[in-house]
Amino acid sequence: MGLNSFGYNVVLLLHIVCVIVGFGGVILNGVYASRAQQLPPEQNLAVMEVNSFVSMKVAEVFIYLVPVWGLGLVGMSDKTYTFGQTWVWLSLVVYVVSLGVSHGALMPRVRRMLETQRDMVANPPAGPDDGRIATLQASGKQVGAMSMVLHLSLVVMIVLMIWKPGYAS
C-alpha cells in the first residue's frame, strides 16, 4: 500500500485517535484523585467511580486498539517499517509490560481503594485512627508510583515512535 496511500493514512489516523482517547483518558487520573480528596466522602466516591469507569471501560478499549492499528501500519508500509526494527519491537515490549503493570498491580489497588471508599461512605470512620484511612493513603501512594511508571512508559513509546531507533531511512 505504501506510506502515502489513503488506506495507510486512515489507519494512521485511527492509531493516533486511539492513542489520544485511550492514553488521554487515563493520563490525568491523578489530578482527578487529588481533587476528589478535597471533597466530602460521598462526592469523592462519585468522582472516583466515574473516573474509574472512564478509565477501565472506555479508555482501556482504545488503549487495546493502539497496537492493532500500529501493527497494521507496519504491515501496510511496503517493508519500509519491519518488526525487526528496534523502535517497533521495543515499543511492543514496553506496551506489553505496561499492560502487565496496569492489570497486575495498578487496577487491583484502584479497585481496593474504591471498595474501601464505598465502605467508608456506608460506615463513616469513627475517628482519625480508623485503619481504612491509613489503607487509603498507603494505596494512594502505591497507585501514584505505578501511575508514574506508566506515564514514563508512555513517554518512552512516544519517543520510540518519533525518533525510530533502528530505522535507516
Residue 150 lies in a domain: yes
Residue 169 lies in a domain: no
pLDDT tens digits, one per residue of 55-87:
999 999 999 999 999 999 999 999 999 999 999
Q: Which domain holds residue 109?
A: 6-163
Q: Please give the pLDDT value at position 1.
A: 86
C-alpha cell belonging to residue 119: 465502605
Residue 144 lies in a domain: yes
Question: Residue 24: how many CA atoms within 13 Å on its side-chain side?
Answer: 6
pTM score, two decimals? 0.95
Digitized pLDDT (tens) for each residue of the chain, 169 residues in all: 899 999 999 999 999 999 999 999 999 999 999 999 999 999 999 999 999 999 999 999 999 999 999 999 999 999 999 999 999 999 999 999 999 999 999 999 999 999 999 999 999 998 889 999 999 999 999 999 999 999 999 999 999 999 999 998 7
Burial of 164 (0-12, 13-18, 19+ CB in 10 A): middle
Residue 168 lies in a domain: no
CB 135 within 8 A of CB 165: no
Cα of first residue to Cα of last residue in the chain, in angstroms, is: 18
DSSP 4: T
**Residues in CB range of 52: below 8 A, 6 or more apart:** 110, 111, 114
The count of structural domains within the chain is 1
Residue 98 lies in a domain: yes
C-alpha distances in Å from residue 30, one per residue of 76, 146, 148, 169: 37, 11, 10, 39
